[in-house]
Structure 1
């Protein structure tokens, strides 16, 4: 097994810094070097185009990305994916873990499976779908695309919980609130670690990453003990946005442990800023 470290980009981002905390709490079984544009407590300063921070690496984990903005602004994700591939090639790494999103499924995101044709409905989803299409033409280093569900602690409901403004949820005609797929940060960190260390031929081309249990957003708020208000769901609001996890369950990769609202909330607090 390679003794070269793993390079982790985007270490100062919402997901990046939480994955690093999870790895400090539960050692991943390999050395890693984390980088971001500016140096921080657990990462070095590095930007695409600069010489690699280490001469040899076993893998690159791309945790960087732009989630908000126009299509032109979010298309920087394609540049970052190319840079991660270039970094892997320059250091001899045989794989790159790329974070995509369930947003590539757009409004057709009801138990959406990996073989479903992407139909993104917002700039972020469109840019990530374009990133995936670009990566499909690359064979080495192998791109591994993870279509990640709402990462608790780095998603919209978590941002609402972290703020002081009143929280308002949509309520649909049947009296229910929005149902979403989630993933805990510790579970995401374990899956990434396993993909870094498993034989290359066991790495998927693309895989959905989520807990097998979809949850209503109000369950997360209740687990956090946070009061909220209901409003009638506006036209076009999605009652459900969920992804299938059959491929993950059959993969041999670590299976998500945080499958309840309470467990997801505890996971968030454990790895919070």
Structure 2
């Protein structure tokens, strides 16, 4: 292992496990140490406030977080973000990759761009927007905020697909179903790896991370061969919740390869538990 590995926190989470699996399939050109509160097959035990597992690090990748619960419960994401910054400072890392969410855009999430003011509509989105605001006041180590779309395999639709309960999708007045932005695990893992290794001045302050092709949720169901039922969309249901990827496309970062429902489903199965 190099003297300056990358530290990956939250290695036992839904996204963390899958990113590590993607890196085993397609090894990055850096060493890394993965950690979680409890030791696992591919990670060491470590918690915020404990001495770092290595004395020097190249970067910190924060894959930990709380997605569900009340605002008070999801506000632990602010503490985790600060802990990642502290870990980077303690080990000499020059950057921290933080996962935020497209939920910060709330109901104003129709091809939402990074310069759009956050208008979160649920506790998770609110907590992540507060986390972003906190990080904006930090200059070093550099926080890199990724507003990530639905991560196939770790999102709500994937949980529905994996369960036994009948899947029900909203159908709107024009006959269409909900359209969402997605990102595959392998693509997310490649982008994170590139952000770890690129020159610091090429790291964005904030960037949307999604496939350039938004997809109907029923297309994902069909790709998975999963039966589903339609219901009339209730009042207030969003036909579309999508984010713009112009900034990602204009960057030198790897571009998403999984841009169809079939490719996203294959990606999910390849990196499944």
Structure 1-normalised TM-score? Answer: 0.99
- Rounded Cα–Cα distance in structure 1 between residues aligned with 2:110 and 2:260: 19
1:195 deviates by: 0.1
Which secondary structure does the structure 1 equivalent of 2:14 belong to?
coil
- Rounded Cα–Cα distance in structure 1 between residues aligned with 2:35 and 2:271: 19
2:35·2:44 contact (CA, 8 Å) conserved in 1?
yes
- Rounded Cα–Cα distance in structure 2 between residues aligned with 1:3 and 1:109: 42
Structure 2, unaligned stretches of length 5 or more?
none
Q: Deviations over 1:231-265 (max 9, x none)?
A: 00111100000000000000110000000000000
Q: Which residue number corresponds to residue 241 of structure 1?
A: 241
1:158 deviates by: 0.2
- Rounded Cα–Cα distance in structure 2 between residues aligned with 1:226 and 1:197: 39
1:129 deviates by: 0.1
Which secondary structure does the structure 1 equivalent of 2:88 belong to?
helix
Q: How does 1:36-75 map to 2 (within 5 A)?
A: 36-75=36-75
1:2·1:58 contact (CA, 8 Å) conserved in 2?
no
Superposed structure 1 runs of 4+ greater than 2 Å apart: none
Q: Which residue number corresponds to residue 22 of structure 2?
A: 22
- Rounded Cα–Cα distance in structure 2 between residues aligned with 1:45 and 1:203: 29
Which secondary structure does the structure 1 equivalent of 2:231 belong to?
strand
- Rounded Cα–Cα distance in structure 2 between residues aligned with 1:11 and 1:266: 22
- Rounded Cα–Cα distance in structure 1 between residues aligned with 2:178 and 2:38: 37
1:3 deviates by: 4.8
Cα RMSD for the two superposed structures = 1.0
Structure 1, unaligned stretches of length 5 or more?
none
1:2 deviates by: 7.9
Q: Which residue number corresponds to residue 217 of structure 2?
A: 217
1:10·1:35 contact (CA, 8 Å) conserved in 2?
yes
1:85 deviates by: 0.1
Q: Deviations over 1:31-59 (max 9, x none)?
A: 00000000000000000000000000000
Number of positions where the alignment pairs a residue of Structure 1 with one of Structure 2: 273
1:8·1:34 contact (CA, 8 Å) conserved in 2?
yes
1:17 deviates by: 0.3
- Rounded Cα–Cα distance in structure 1 between residues aligned with 2:55 and 2:90: 8
Label 1:29 to 1:45 Cα distance change in 2 as closer, same or farther (>3 A).
same
